[in-house]
Structure 1
Amino acid sequence: MELFHEYKNKYFHLVFRILNLAKNGLYKDEVIRLIEKEEYDEKIIGKDFKTFEGMLLNQYNKTDNFNFLEERDGKYYSILNNKDSIPIKVRFSKLEKSWLNGMTKEPVVQALLGKETLEKLEAGLAEVKAGSNQVIEFTNKGKNDFDVDLEKLSKDFYTILEGIINEKPILYSNVDKNGNEYNNQLALPIRIEYSLKDDKFRASLYSLEEKRSIMVNLHTLKEVKIAQNFNSKVKKEDVIKNLKEKKYSKIPITIELEDIRGAMERCFMSLSSFERNSRIISENKYEIDIYYYTFEEDEVIRKIMSLGPYVKVKSPSRVRDIVIDNIKKAFMFETAETIKNINKLS
């Protein structure tokens, strides 16, 4: 697994953040809290069983440590001698700038960023060669059968975002896919998601009336506002913890993976949004436990199958049978298509 791969690994951002925060010094427990909040559940990041925390806090030999921080008077400081207020600044590649320039032309992006932010971006990208994201072809993406009111989307987006940041409940009215109306529902917003596959913004909420987690599409919201003069005793962290306890898979999917043609790196990249525990069982062969919310099982299975012949499901047997059945169906479909194409040529 590559530690410093900007596109594939969250540890790069974690180091970036800690080095900037450590300009004025961080206590050891502050560094540990930052790491625990953002690192993966599996603490081991190398084949020699060393932890990210240990390497960052110089707990091993000098050749094994990252040597990014130095301890002085009980605090850890960045080794960078940059006097700037931000020791490490974000540097975009030409390709990233071109992509960003193309994104600023997207109507939805313009609506969500707002005029002030958009003008700053356009000024910063003034010398970038004009780019358009129309050259990007998306596959397996559904086509919306509804029109998006960009002004309303932006207003609802920032109302929900305010609720998330300040942990304030919201009152919303919504119409679900079956046409059922829900008016003046009280809920605590947890997060906003964007589904590239469905091209939809969704909000994950916790219903304070029904005491359960729900998901609503932003384009189906009739109205949403902050619930004034209402202080909820329910905290976002408690909701997430409760969801994990009730909706989390009690038995992980265990796979065996052979690290051929970068399979291990592709696995970590593909499954980066799920909790995992990994262990070495022999040279270039690993066993990985994948933990997930029960409603995400289909997605986990698809991601496992996308890794190809270098991975096999060891348990549970129910999931293994699903994978085998899916492979058989795919093979039968390909065979039928091949026969159909041969007949056309005859």
Structure 2
Amino acid sequence: MLFHEIYSTYFQTVAKILTEAVDHPLTSGEIDSIVREYAFDESTLNIPESLGIAHWKLLKEDGTTILKKKPTMPLTILQKRWINAVALDPRIRLFTDHPVTFPDVEPLFLPEDISVFDQYLDGDPYEDAGYIQNFRLILDGIRHQYPIQITVTNRHGKRITTKTIPEYLEYSEKDDKFRLIGTGSRLGNTINLGRITSCEKCESQKGEKVGKRNLPRPRKVIFELVDDRNALERVLMHFAHFEKQVEKIEDQKYQVTLHYDKEDETEILIRVLSFGPMLRVVKPAAFIHLIKDRLSEQKSCGL
């Protein structure tokens, strides 16, 4: 927590009180009002008292402060080094062309110092100019809630154009990819940003109706695993953001029921296959057929 000790709620609140006290004497009511606005109700019991003569001696009894100038909170060297390190992450360019950096200090760490375990290598092209442009327009659409028109290349190489109202972005650390969650697209609620080839603001026409969010299509897959080499822990972490139930059926043998939406089926399929023989899917038959088809497709491609 590099920024906690200086930029926490309490420090910000105290700084606000002292800033006001430099301009004019504060009444106890004004101090309590500032505390309630910037901190928590219970903070009115300790912050005003701590500022007084008995403790920090920053506020006098008449509501004035011993400070002559308004307080500032400069960054520490450690914080500057952390910011410099974050600025080296290629994903920071998705938000700005000119990230804040401090030339007087070295980065706290370099990208090559980070080793991410169990992450796919085909992440999104964060340094691609077209990807950056699409990301920023989508982000602006989320902030201002206007529809956008996107063109997507599907897995078969076919280009599809659709409209959607962007709601939010999801990032998968394991996949190293962003996904757009939106409303009204005939492609579904979820669209991988890496598949978007073009993106533009869609001017709403009078009387034009926006499509509704696609209804959820709940699915589930049931598989068994033997808890060898922390297999159970790895599976639970791998599928942490999905609803699931785990049942112990034998010594070190477990059955996992995983719930997901139809839109996530391809992702679930790939993740299940990534565990190889550690998992054995028992239900449903349709998912088992998907596995067979996927393996046959990989074999025909020489993978």
TM-score, length-scaled by structure 1: 0.46
- Which position in structure 1 is the counterpart of 2:243? 275
Q: Residues of 2 paired with 1:204 and 1:260: CA distance? A: 37
Where does residue 105 of structure 1 map in the other structure? 88
Which residue identity lines up with residue 248 of structure 1 in the other structure? P
How far apart are 1:328 and its partner, in Å? 7.9
Structure 2 CA distance for partners of 1:126 and 1:154, relative to 1, 3 Å: farther
Q: State whether residues 231 and 278 of structure 2, in contact with CA within 8 Å, keep that contact through their aligned partners in structure 1.
A: yes
1: CA distance between counterparts of 2:295 and 2:161?
40
Change (3 A) 1:134 1:221: farther
Going from structure 1 to structure 2, the CA distance change for 1:289 and 1:98 (only over 3 Å counts) comes to: farther
Equivalent residue for 1:207?
A: 184
Deviates more, 1:309-318 or 1:195-204: 195-204
Instruction: Please report how far the alpha carbon of residue 307 of structure 1 lies from its aligned counterpart in structure 2 after TM superposition.
Output: 2.6
Unmatched 5+ stretches in structure 2 = 1-7, 10-45, 48-77
User: Aligned partners of 1:257 and 1:306: how far apart in 2?
Assistant: 13
Q: CA separation of 1:215/1:281 partners in 2, compared to 1, >3 Å: closer, same or farther?
A: same
Counterpart Cα distance in 1 of 2:148 and 2:287: 38
Work out whether residues 103 and 133 of structure 1, in 8 Å CA contact, stay in contact via their aligned partners in 2. no
> Which of 162, 170, 177 lines up with 1:193 in the alignment?
170
Name 2:150's counterpart in structure 1. Answer: 174
Partner of 1:266: 234
Corresponding residue number in structure 2 for 1:292:
260
Measure, in 1, the Cα distance between the counterparts of 2:165 and 2:124: 30
User: 1:159 touches 1:224 (CA, 8 Å); kept in 2?
Assistant: no
Q: Deviations over 1:105-155 (max 9, x none)?
A: 24541341575xx42xx45x94544513498697541786x9524773464
Output the CA distance in 2 between the equivalents of 1:265 and 1:134.
26
Conserved 8 A contact 1:266-1:307: no
In 1, are the aligned partners of 2:120 and 2:176 still within 8 Å (CA)?
A: no
CA RMSD, 1 decimal:
5.0
Alignment of 1:72-221 (within 5 A): 102-112=85-95, 115=98, 118-119=99-100, 122=101, 126=105, 128-133=107-112, 140-141=121-122, 147-149=128-130, 152-153=133-134, 155-163=136-144, 168=145, 170-177=146-153, 178-179=158-159, 185=163, 187-194=164-171, 201-207=178-184, 213=189, 215=191, 217=193, 220-221=197-198
Q: Tell me, yes or no, if the aligned pair for 2:142 and 2:167 is still in contact at 8 Å.
A: no
For residue 215 of structure 1, give the secondary structure of its aligned residue in structure 2: strand
Tell me the CA shift for residue 179 of structure 1. Answer: 4.9
SS at match of 1:277: strand
Q: Which has the larger radius of gyration?
A: 2
Distance 1:217 1:158 in 2: 12
1:212 Cα offset (Å): 6.1
CA displacement at 1:289 relative to structure 2: 0.6
Aligned sequence identity (%):
20
Q: Which amino acid aligns with 2:227?
A: D
Q: How many residues align?
A: 219
Whole-angstrom distance in 2 between the partners of 1:211 and 1:189:
13
Verify: 1:248 aligned to 2:227, yes or no.
no
User: Unaligned 5+ residue runs, structure 1?
Assistant: 1-19, 22-82, 85-93, 338-346
